[in-house]
Amino acid sequence: MSIEADIDSSIVYKTMINFEQIKGKQGVPMRFTPTTIPAVIVIEPKVSADERGFFLESYQKQRFSEAGIPFDFVQDNHSKSEQGVLRGLHYQIQQPQGKLVRVIAGEIFDVAVDIRKNSPTFGKWVGDFLSAENRKMLWVSPGFAHGFYVTSPTAEVLYKATGYYAPQWERTIAWNDPVINIDWHLNGVTPILSSKDKAGKFLDEAEVFE
């Protein structure tokens, strides 16, 4: 099933162009690396550290815009999860959200799935380990389902969202969809799921974006 949503397909192209423009600049305090799905970007901030601790910029509007992420963020969220918890795969079919995800304690394996029906990467996924140590962030564009698995004893996740939470439009795709076939790095562990996530639909039954 598909449903129209207000997603600008030009964002993917703009992301690639602007990354080429900025990646060679010296002194840029963030590195933006498109994944194999260019609308999902790994962001690595420059960290200034000494015996007192460290400082980093986690967001700067102009730099993000130059890197192809021109969105305004309207909501910040903070979650804490125990080891083995898997959250996802979540999205809002109307009022879609882009998410900037980072970890301030512990480690997660963070995943984005392209559910834009007309995308050449529809049904494909990308993932990366985000941790308090590596300080990586993941930009997940609108039009994607998002989820993560906690690999450390606990993890605290912060994410900025481009749209307000709208529970009436929230949808869940099954974490274990056999067609998407995500490698969650479970290492034989059965993940801990909410009742909502246990009821997630397979991709061929889910509402997706045009």
pLDDT tens-digit series, residues 87-138: 999 999 999 999 999 999 999 999 999 999 999 999 999 999 999 999 999 9
Check residues 105 and 18 and name the one with the higher pLDDT: 105
- Alpha carbons within 13 angstroms on the beta-carbon side of residue 175 total 24
What structural domains and CATH numbers belong to the chain?
2-209 (2.60.120.10)
- pLDDT of 21 > 80? The answer is no
Q: How confident is the model at residue 9 (pLDDT cuts 50, 70, 90)?
A: very low
Higher model confidence: residue 1 or residue 107?
107
Q: Give the mean pLDDT of 70-74.
A: 97
* Predicted local distance difference test score (pLDDT) of residue 151: 98
3-class secondary structure, 21: helix
Range from 16-20, 83-87, 137-141 carrying the lowest mean pLDDT: 16-20
pLDDT of residue 179: 97
The pLDDT value given to residue 49: 86
pLDDT at 4 over 60: no
Say yes or no to pLDDT of 26 above 50.
no
From the number of C-beta atoms within 10 Å of its C-beta (0-12, 13-18, 19+), residue 42 rates as middle
Give me the pLDDT at residue 66, please. 93
For residue 111, the model assigns a pLDDT of 98
Question: Which whole-number Å values give the CA distances from 134 to 2, 45, 48, 170, 177, in the listed order?
Answer: 37, 10, 13, 30, 29
Please pick, among 13, 159, 164, 165, the residue that the annotation labels catalytic: 159
Q: What is the pLDDT of residues 137-193, one digit of tens each?
A: 999 999 999 999 999 999 999 999 999 999 999 999 999 999 999 999 999 999 999
CA gap 174, 190 in Å, rounded: 14
Question: Which strands form 144-150's sheet, in the order they lie side by side?
Answer: 125-131, 107-114, 144-150, 86-92, 170-172
Give catalytic status of residue 90 as yes or no: yes
Phi, psi of 11 (to 5 degrees): -60, -40
Catalytic, out of 59, 78, 90, 149? 90
Which pLDDT belongs to residue 8? 46
Question: Is 164 annotated as catalytic?
Answer: no
- pLDDT at position 1 over 60: no
pLDDT grade, residue 56 (50/70/90)?
confident
Model pTM?
0.86
